[in-house]
Structure 1
Amino acid sequence: MAMQFYASPEQVQRDRSEYARKGIARGRSAVVLTYAGGVLFVAENTTTLRKVSEIYDRIGFAAVGRYNEFEALRRAGVRLADVNGYSYDRRDVTGRYIANAFTQTLGAIFSETSKPYEVEICIAQVGATAEQDELYRITYDGSVMDEPGFMAMGGSAEAISVVLKERHDEAADLASALALAVKGLGSVGGENGNERRLEAKQLEVAVLDRNRRGRAFRRLTDATVSGLLSGDAQEVPDGGEPGDVSPPPPAEHKPTSSAASEDLEGGSGTDAS
């Protein structure tokens, strides 16, 4: 009679963690950091598969690792945000709420399935001021950390974080913040330890614009990124330039919050007639 193979729970957890970390390390890194105008996302990406996306009005999403796994999580996050915002109030959908949902999902997958997700995720929410910005890192095992204004994800995250920590400035403009993110990404992976020079076509760049009404998320085109890196372009104002891939600004007098957030009792509402 064959003996059943046994592995201690501690060994199983270590094996799962090692498996997930190796999978994440095989992908390219991403950087998220705050700046004067909001939150900047920069991912090294030469494909049309997005690592950076929008979750809700003022909430963004960035991930590294296995694409099909973090894309499934992103889609679930979008549905969760839409349902909660529609059922209650748009203000009830926060970065912390979405991060907690991802934490529970990844924690259950890590503990209860034979294969953990090979992903690392950032949920970012832009606030009215830099002090109100929120960055949450969620790892493959469901752990969540509140990051202090900047973070790097991927196999070279520690080395990139050293560069970001030395120069990160919440009061920096978009061009300076982008230059720092690109410098951090290019500080690893070069031949003989040399820095790499990353071009706009190798990057996926998006921002959560603090001054934008309604939906704060917008992507930056290669032309805009090249101009910012070369110093030939300034930060794009609300509404964007023609090359920016972003939703149109809200129409005049169009409400940007739920009517449920207003106190209409006691005759404070307007007469519909």
Structure 2
Amino acid sequence: MTAAIPPLPAPLDLLACRPARPVISVQNLPLPGNPAPEPPRRMSLPELGNQPRFSAVETPPAPVTPPMPSPPSDYTDEDLRLAIAPLVAGVMGGGSFHDDASLEAMLRSTFRRALAEHQVGPFQQPGVGHRTLWHLQALFTSRSYDEIVSDKIRRFHVEEVYLLDRDKLSLISYASSNPVRHAHPRKVGSFARKLALRVQDDSGAYMFGFELGEGRRTLISAGQYSLLVAVIRGEVTGLAKTDLEFALKRIERRYQQEFAQGVPLLEELQPLLEECLLIHSPAAPASP
């Protein structure tokens, strides 16, 4: 039995529920391969006259040269006062200055080292006439030329210094104003032994000094590890003893460990002992 199937009704309800498509104009359609058009924007241009100038080849900036330091000016008394203020602070109490022999010796040593850079010694060499006259006086009076010069200037100066071991009295180091003796230790060995035999009296106590003749004498300073024997020509004052004690104290303080271990210090101590050769009398020179 065959039956005829009626056609399905059209989905009118579904078509009626669909939203209406927007109408797109042809002018608003994007072109393939081209970006979407942007609305025009306003650009601000710089004012005329303020634009930077450009050259064809840019020149690198020149290097900045630091200013040259100005040469130091001459030092004044105020500069000296500021330099020694830390040294004097230790001997100031209650706003008053107390005389300290060690501080005075330290200052004298500092100034001697500074002056030694500009001159050989405290005196200049006399002229030919005076040297000839003084040599003749030494010849006719059976005295040495150095004795005549010491009598003329009436000042003392240290000629040699010897540092001896306090227990063994052996030579540790030395310095001499004679360059030949200063360069060769064997030339002072016998003289150092003669000094070692005379530094003690009969009771074994250390002496303060003894005469050597020809206007020379010794001045002995005793330290913890060593003895400093200075050979001085002329009349010795208390200033020389204070300066020598300060020099010995500084040497033993710096080389305390080496002294305790018995390390040889012949060459190491010679520069410090050379400063003792600059010790001389501060008295005014005699009138001609």
Q: TM-score, normalised by structure 2?
A: 0.24
- Determine which structure has more spread, i.e. the larger CA radius of gyration: 2
User: More strand by proportion, 1 or 2?
Assistant: 1
Q: TM-score, normalised by structure 1?
A: 0.25
